[in-house]
Amino acid sequence: MKQLWLFNQINSDLQRIEKELHHFVETDYPILNESAVHLLDAGGKRLRPAFALLAGKFYGYPIDQLMPVAMALELIHMATLVHDDVVDASTTRRGRPTVKAKWGNIVSVATGDYLLARSLELIAKIDHPEVSRILAEVSVEMSQGEIQQIKASFDVKQNLKQYYYRIKRKTALLIEASCKLGAIVSGAPKRQVWALGAYGHAIGMAFQIVDDVLDVTAEASQLGKPVGGDLQQGIMTLPMILALKSTQHSERLINLLGKTDKSQSEIEEAIRLIKDSGAIEESMHYVDLYIQKAKRYLEELPNVPTRKALADLAQFIRDRKF
């Protein structure tokens, strides 16, 4: 977790969650155990558990109720990652080989299914109908978003509405749920549950747009995976959509983005055209709008140190380089 300094209020509990997750995914089946532990050991930002814990900080912080929620959220997220790596044929994530790269598609799918099943066990122990309902609905919509992304691969005619539909389901909904569920199990008033959820949704949208920008601007060593992965896989992101609208070389860019088998030089050319179009700066303008919205939602919450922590986290998501 590279940004633990942001989580001074909850560091010890995030470390506890890390240990509990390792213990919880242990199984007697060696390959399944190795693949699940490998995924955990790759690290990650653990944003979803952190959001749940921080939401609970406003309302008495009932850690025994928050722990299983935070762990279930991270297991669901990890399950989607390992399945995504199969769909995208990804060989590296967070600077390490993916489960797919080490064990192949069959073990990857089984690992994702196992993690999802373990999250269901945690949800059952929480025994809160609102928690179960929200996580079930989010899981369904995330699956729909993934299918939409697969269906739209290499389609250069996508518009902003379609893009927002995808990233809402791909990223924003689970972050929104993390904030809401942390508040719900902590007994927050309904209006403040809504405000935290709205904050999480705005943060999630901003997070994914920044991810899409980093795919064409970051250094591979910082990103932890090859740059230009979305271009290679035909995933139309905001920088691509905006570049197609503005660049004088749009015909060439259309040809490059729609090509299903791109060479490295063609990926580099597409990245150069996207950067030259001004689409990166315009994409970050959209990020700034979401960050501003997120911070406005925080004004609905009690003025305690946790509120500033969430505002700082919003700014970190905007400025991050990995």
For residue range 175-187, list pLDDT tens digits in order: 999 999 999 999 9
Q: What residues contact 94, with CB distance under 8 A and at least 6 apart?
A: 42, 43, 44, 224, 225
Percentage of the chain beyond pLDDT 90 is 85
H/E run at residue 148: helix 129-151
d(CA 94, CA 112): 17
- What is the mean predicted confidence (pLDDT) over 146-160? 93
Task: Please list, in sequence order, all residues whose beta carbon lies within 8 angstroms of the beta carbon of residue 117, skipping any fewer than 6 positions away.
Answer: none
Compute the average pLDDT of residues 34-39.
95
Q: Which CATH class is domain 8-319?
A: mainly alpha
Q: Residue 44: its pLDDT value, please?
A: 80
Site of tokens 């922590």: 309
Whole-model pTM over 0.85: yes
Cα dihedral 136→141→147→149 (10° resolution): -140
Please check the confidence at residue 2 and state whether its pLDDT lies above 60. Answer: no
